[in-house]
Amino acid sequence: MTDIKKEENKKDNSPPTTPPTSTNNDNNVKEENKINKVDDNVKENENDNEKEIKIERSLTENLNQRFYNNNNKNNNENENIDYKNFKTIKDFGYYYNDKGELRSIEGEEKFKFVNQQHYDRLGDIIVKTIQNKMKSEPINLEEHWIPKGETNQCNIFTSKDFFENKSKLMVFINGSGAVKSGQWARSLCINDTLDSGSILPYLNDAISNGFSIIVLNPNYNKFEEKIIDEDDDNEKEEKKEEKEEEKDEKEDDKPKKKKRFDNSIKGSENSNNHILTVYDEFIKKSPATDIVIVAHSFGGVNTTYLLDNRGEEIGDKLKAVAFTDSVHSLSPKSSSFTKSFYADENKTKNWVKSEKKLNTDLGFSKLQGCNLASAGHTVHEFTSSTCRIPLFKFILNSLKK
């Protein structure tokens, strides 16, 4: 596991371990009592959606502000650079050393924040770097672009034995914000190490323990430019075909009506839709008799949504849910299956940020409906990496019950 630096325990600006609760508007109580039950349900759903959006926005803002300051905001030389043209980490003057640390090619210095476009573009390319590692030895995951046959697609990953492993399956769900499939925290992938910021150590542990794997991508909701590897001939060919199609359209003299381009991804318009789509198209078809879920941060909200909507289907197979600083909460509308599964201390646990020693029992959370344990770190983003060992022990023990 990654060694944690002392300076990372400085003032904590991380998002709350549990989501904030909303209060009723006293002025509207009388009027609301006149509304029929159908309208009440609609309003409750809207409030829940707004609540989740606020939680997700809060998490994203905290993630974006945690580890960097605008060290170069007075450096006008960087203002006119279009970083969208950068295709590799090397283009930014960085590389990953053997310890998984991002360092400058010249001077071996840590990452320095330039501006948001620079940071975001580098982050996008780092996603590709991680996903390439996921597809390479010794992990060897397969990449799937969904939905098939559509122009707008997002990618997920499965182990090669996903449709053959009849024993056990591990499902990975990351948090909200800019992170994509394969990441826990983009800020750590840039400012700390790939071991702390990515799911790579988890994948190695899952494989060594005989699990098949599926890695979801709940934040990939709109079509994005595919970053082409210089040595990827298949992706080069796809790019070439796209350019040829664009050329043919320009050469067509026939007048065309302008159409509004919808870049949303069918079945993954939002994170909750993505979870259900991947369940219906992949997880449901796995022959594994035992399924476990590992979810970080807002991934806990998505997991709860999955259990509320597919609990009866997945119930017999689901053996454990392991959260890392999840921000989910239960409500009166939560399904009985979700409530009972979360309440079982042998099946569900949330490792939360805490000053307490790693894996210290922190009791039962009524708001979240599950038992809590210390992740051994006070910073939200580090929780997944610091609690990995006790988390896997918990999962393996749950399979013996």
- Tens-digit pLDDT profile for residues 195-226: 999 999 999 999 999 999 999 999 999 988 66
For range 28-44, the mean pLDDT: 42
pLDDT digits (tens, 9 = 90+) for 92-127: 999 999 999 999 999 999 999 999 999 999 999 999
Confidence of residue 56 (pLDDT cuts 50, 70, 90): low
pLDDT of 80 reads 77
Say what percent of the chain tops pLDDT 90. Answer: 69
Q: Given pLDDT bands bounded at 50, 70 and 90, which one contains residue 251? A: very low
d(CA 219, CA 217): 6
Residues 6+ apart with CB under 8 A from 337: 307, 308, 311, 312, 315
The percent of residues above 70 in pLDDT, for the chain, comes to 71
Taking the alpha carbons of 260, 265, 270, 272 in that order, is the dihedral positive or negative?
Answer: positive
Length, in residues, of the chain: 401
245 is written with which tokens? 């199609």
| C-alpha–C-alpha distance, residues 359 and 355, integer Å | 11
pLDDT tens per residue, range 252-301: 444 444 445 678 999 999 999 999 999 999 999 999 999 999 999 999 99
Average pLDDT over residues 379-392: 98
pLDDT at 51: 61
3-class secondary structure, 305: helix
Query: Rounded mean pLDDT of the chain?
Result: 83
In degrees, rounded to 5, the angle at the alpha carbon of residue 320 between the alpha carbons of residues 272 and 344 is 105
Check residues 348 and 29 and name the one with the higher pLDDT: 348
Residue 374 is among the residues annotated as catalytic for this protein? no
pLDDT of residue 237: 52
Q: Give the pLDDT of residue 223.
A: 86
**Sign, CA torsion 79/81/85/86:** negative
Which of 181, 271, 297, 385 is catalytic? The answer is: 297
d(CA 187, CA 65): 9
Whole-number Å distance between alpha carbons of 220 and 215 = 13
Q: Which residue has the higher pLDDT, 65 or 286?
A: 286
Instruction: Give the Cβ contact number of residue 168 at 10 Å.
Output: 21
